[in-house]
Amino acid sequence: MSTKEPPDQGHDPAGLEHRANWATIKALPWTRIGGVAGALGVIVGVTFGFASACGSDEPPTPGHTQSGSGNVICDNNSSCTIEPEQAQDIVKDAEGKAGDSDAKLKKSLRGAPGATEPPGEPGPYPFTVVDTANLGLFARTTNVVNGVRVGNTGNRELVWANCVAQSDFTPSDVSGENNVGPQWVQVRWKHLGSGQTRGLSEPNETQTAWMYRGALEPVGHNGEIPGC
Residue 5 and residue 16: Cα distance in Å, rounded?
Answer: 10
Q: Do the Cβ atoms of 192 and 120 come closer than 8 Å? A: no
Encode pLDDT of 61-79 as tens digits. Answer: 333 455 555 444 454 444 5
Domain ranges of the chain: 13-218
Asked if the model's pLDDT at residue 158 lies above 50, the reply is yes
pLDDT band (50, 70, 90) for residue 18: very low
Asked if the model's pLDDT at residue 59 lies above 60, the reply is no
Encode pLDDT of 178-227 as tens digits. Answer: 999 999 999 999 999 889 899 999 999 999 999 999 999 999 999 999 99
- For residue 123, the Cα-to-chain-centroid distance in whole angstroms is 18
- CA distances (Å), 74 to each of 21, 80, 168, 187, in order? 28, 6, 31, 13
Residue 135 and residue 71: Cα distance in Å, rounded?
Answer: 26
3-state per-residue secondary structure call for 153-190:
ECCCCEEEEEEEEECCCCCCCCCHHHCCCCEEEEEECC
- For residue 204, the Cα-to-chain-centroid distance in whole angstroms is 17
C-alpha dihedral (183, 169, 46, 158), degrees to nearest 10: -30
Encode pLDDT of 87-128 as tens digits. Answer: 999 999 998 999 999 999 999 999 998 999 999 888 899 999
Residue 224 and residue 228: Cα distance in Å, rounded?
Answer: 12
Residue 219 and residue 115: Cα distance in Å, rounded?
Answer: 7
pLDDT of residue 135: 87
pLDDT of residue 171: 86
Residue 152 and residue 139: Cα distance in Å, rounded?
Answer: 5
Encode pLDDT of 141-154 as tens digits. Answer: 999 999 999 999 99
Q: For residue 41, which of 111, 103, 94 has the smallest C-alpha distance?
A: 103
For the chain, the average pLDDT equals: 74
Residue 49: in which H helix or E strand, if any?
helix 42-54
